[in-house]
Structure 1
Amino acid sequence: MRLHDLRHPALTLAAAFDGYRVEIDPVRQRADLVLCRPPFNVISMPQREQLRITFEALEADEAVRVIVVRAEGEHFSGGSDIRGFLQATPEHVSRLAWNVAAPARCSKPVVTAARGYCFGVGFELSLACDFRLVTPTTLYALPEQKLGQIPGSGGSARLQKMVGITRTKDIVMRSRRIPGPQAANWGVASACVPDRELEAATDALVDELRRFSPLAQRAAKKLLNDTEDSPLSIAIELEGHCYSRLRSSDDFRNGVEAFQDKRKPNFVGT
């Protein structure tokens, strides 16, 4: 078999990003995925696959420590390109949740900053991220019931883990819109900040995350994701194994010595 005989979804994608762009700041070790299909930043079917592949590429980029998902304009995303669902095959639709879960699988911290509409797949993409920053203008919603459908990219499942079955039924079965302050009170959003401060709050969170050990960040994210459904005894056992592995890292030694010397540590990720 020759290389060009191989088939992969990446080979069928357009050369240009569909509905978003990627900005990399090597000085701040930060990559931004910016949704840019105004006015509602609708997410197309091809875009979902591109986003997954982009996350996988950023995962492999050692210059990137933190990833931010944000959007141009007044709204994060109004959701999917509805017509795309009618044109997609059942096999294609079955992969949607895998594509949207790319931020969760990524070992690096992923922050999403949303104002305005954050509906459907836009909300599901946010739920797959590690930190969600919102403003009073933000509206979270899973409106699929209005189309005779249910969320198909992990939205109801992730939400139920966060807020329980009663609130999830209220949001999903009634297509309710949840404002940013309420989302923060319920623990769906990490923080709700004034609209004019969203970018500054995002910058501050990125800089804070960059100060920690890359090894410890990866270990914490994987441990928390892997033990979300585990019994307490299993979670504690896995936590102990992760702790013991980090015990022999250069970053841990650096952190202990910096604490003793009353200086800032210089974590390098080894």
Structure 2
Amino acid sequence: MNAYVPAPPLPTDLDGYRIDIDAARERADIVLARPPMNTISMRQREQLRQTFEALDEDDRVRVIVLRAEGEHFSSGGFIKGFLEASPEHVSKLAWNIAAPARCSKPVIVANRGYTFGVGFEISLACDFRIVSETCQYALPEQKLGQIPGSGGSARLQKIVGITRTKDIVMRSKRIPGRQALDWGIATECVPDAELEAATDRLVDELRGFSPMAQRTAKKLLNDTEDSTLSIAIELEGHCYSRLRQSDDFKEGVLAFHEKRAPNFKGS
């Protein structure tokens, strides 16, 4: 018998952000709160990882939203922090910033204004990117004699291909919101005043689906991103078969035939 493992606690004394949990809406917001540029410190990266891991185990939360105060999502990391950090600490950067991707629950990021460096990288690790027309994505590390170090170039290449990734990374090129949508980086692009409303709509939409089906879909898609087509189809079949045994699938079929909205329980 497996021993019970309690959910990890949310970190305290938060560095540069806050956590808002709305249990009635089954939503948790991680809000970058170091305006005007919302720079992300080394300590903050570690705390963000801990926060995603804790919220992933929080039964009150169905959907996680990453957003920021002010007109800019984040101008990136503290530059001096890279010189001061130990090699061991630097080696954990990509793992910390990949926390949204490892999280089993849907993660939405709302981007406006500057979304540079690690701000862009953590956004790429989220499942849905809702952008304002003011959003500008960039990986400016070439200007510092560096390259992206938290998964940015690797994730971006999966989305837009090597030619566009070289254009963005090797020229430190800025990509505005509308172009990000056209290139498949953004899920949706809206006028700046509508960013919060668009995010709210997506949260409510995702809450209407089966939590188990959502978790399964996210894990399957993440796990098969680099697999062959035949392996992906095989794994999809196993996941489909498992979900057929769930209470949520039975409820979904029953609701379909009764022409009503399903009441999913996550079991």
TM-score category by the smaller chain?
Answer: over 0.9
Which of 5, 10, 13 aligns to 1:16? It is 13
Cα offset, 1:15, TM superposition: 3.7
AA of the residue aligned to 1:48: R
1:114 and 2:107 aligned: no
AA of the residue aligned to 2:54: A
Residues 170-225 of structure 1: per-residue CA shift (max 9 Å, x gap): 00000000000000000000010111100000000000000000000000000000
Which of 93, 98, 103 aligns to 2:95? It is 98
Which of 255, 264, 267 aligns to 1:267? It is 264
Which of 139, 143, 147 aligns to 2:144? It is 147
1:131 and 2:166 aligned: no
Under a length normalisation based on structure 1, what TM-score does the superposition of the two structures give? Answer: 0.95
2:5 alignment partner in structure 1: none
Structure 1: how far apart are the matches of 2:253 and 2:12? 47
2:4 alignment partner in structure 1: none
1:202 and 2:199 aligned: yes
1:242 alignment partner in structure 2: 239
Structure 1: how far apart are the matches of 2:236 and 2:59? 26
Secondary structure (helix, strand or coil) at the match of 2:76 reads coil
AA of the residue aligned to 2:73: F
Cα offset, 1:79, TM superposition: 0.1
Residues 28-68 of structure 1: per-residue CA shift (max 9 Å, x gap): 00000000001100000000000000001001101100000
Under a length normalisation based on structure 2, what TM-score does the superposition of the two structures give? Answer: 0.96
2:28 alignment partner in structure 1: 31
AA of the residue aligned to 1:174: R
1:253 and 2:250 aligned: yes
1:84 alignment partner in structure 2: 81
AA of the residue aligned to 1:51: L
Aligned residues: 260
Identity %: 76
Structure 2: how far apart are the matches of 1:184 and 1:238? 30
RMSD: 1.3
Q: Which runs of 4+ in 1 moved over 6 A?
A: none
> Which blocks of at least 5 consecutive residues in structure 2 are unaligned?
1-7
AA of the residue aligned to 2:219: K
Structure 2: how far apart are the matches of 1:54 and 1:163? 29
Contact 2:11 / 2:51 at 8 angstroms: preserved in 1?
Answer: no
1:183 and 2:191 aligned: no
Cα offset, 1:135, TM superposition: 1.4
Residues 114-159 of structure 1: per-residue CA shift (max 9 Å, x gap): 1000000000000000000001100000000000000000000000
Structure 2: how far apart are the matches of 1:84 and 1:227? 35
AA of the residue aligned to 2:115: C
2:63 alignment partner in structure 1: 66
2:210 alignment partner in structure 1: 213
Contact 2:248 / 2:265 at 8 angstroms: preserved in 1?
Answer: yes
Which of 139, 162, 166 aligns to 2:163? It is 166
Structure 2: how far apart are the matches of 1:171 and 1:263? 47
